[in-house]
Structure formats: structure tokens, C-alpha cells
Amino acid sequence: MSQLTHRISTVAMMALAALPIIALPASALAATVRVSDLNLATPNGMAAFERRVDQAARNYCNDLQSLHARANCREGVRVELMEKAQPIAAAHAAQMARTLAAR
């Protein structure tokens, strides 16, 4: 039974990681960050994710003329993407914990 649960959680985690993270607003062009190649439970994975978030925020908000509006837009994109990454990071951490416990 434990092995079945482990396999199901592994498949679920991979499915979550394969989905792009989408931010602001849903009806417009969205900022996306690919996370399928990152382990968000590690410091290196989170650092790479944060770099991608910063780049996505710059690209998404680049057309705004006002510096203030551009800064607010970038911060909004960052906040939204970080919030959407939390469940994926939690799934990665849980998977790592199960892997270590199985050893």
C-alpha cells in the first residue's frame, strides 16, 4: 500500500511540475515560468525560479510607460508567481521527505 501511495504522489508531483505557472490577468497575455526542470524544494531550484520570475516580470511589464506603473506591475507578477509556486514547492519537499524516509 505504501508503495502505491508513493507512486501516486510521484505522478501527481510530476503533473504539477509540468504545468506552467500563469500570472496576471487570466484574460490577457500571461507571464509564464517553466518549472518542470526545477526542484523548488532546494535552494538552487528556488534561486533559478526567482531569476525566471524576475525575467518574466520584466518581459510582462516592459510595455508600461510609467516607471511607477512598471514597478507595481513587476511586483504584482512576482507576488502572483511566488504564490502559485508554493504548492509545487511543498509537493517537491514532501517527495524529498518520503524519499529520504524510504532509505
pLDDT band at residue 70 under the 50/70/90 scheme: very high
Which string of DSSP letters, residue by residue, matches 31-94?
EEE--TT--TTSHHHHHHHHHHHHHHHHHHHTT--SHHHHHHHHHHHHHHHHHHHHHHHHHHHH
- List the domain boundaries for the chain: 2-102
Mean of all residue pLDDT scores within the chain: 78
Report whether pLDDT(83) > 80: yes
Indicate the DSSP class of residue 20. Answer: P
Give mean pLDDT, residues 56-82.
90
CA distances from 44 to 37, 47, 83 (A): 12, 5, 18
* Cα(40)–Cα(93) distance, integer angstroms: 8
pLDDT in tens, 21-57: 444 444 355 778 888 888 888 889 889 999 999 999 9
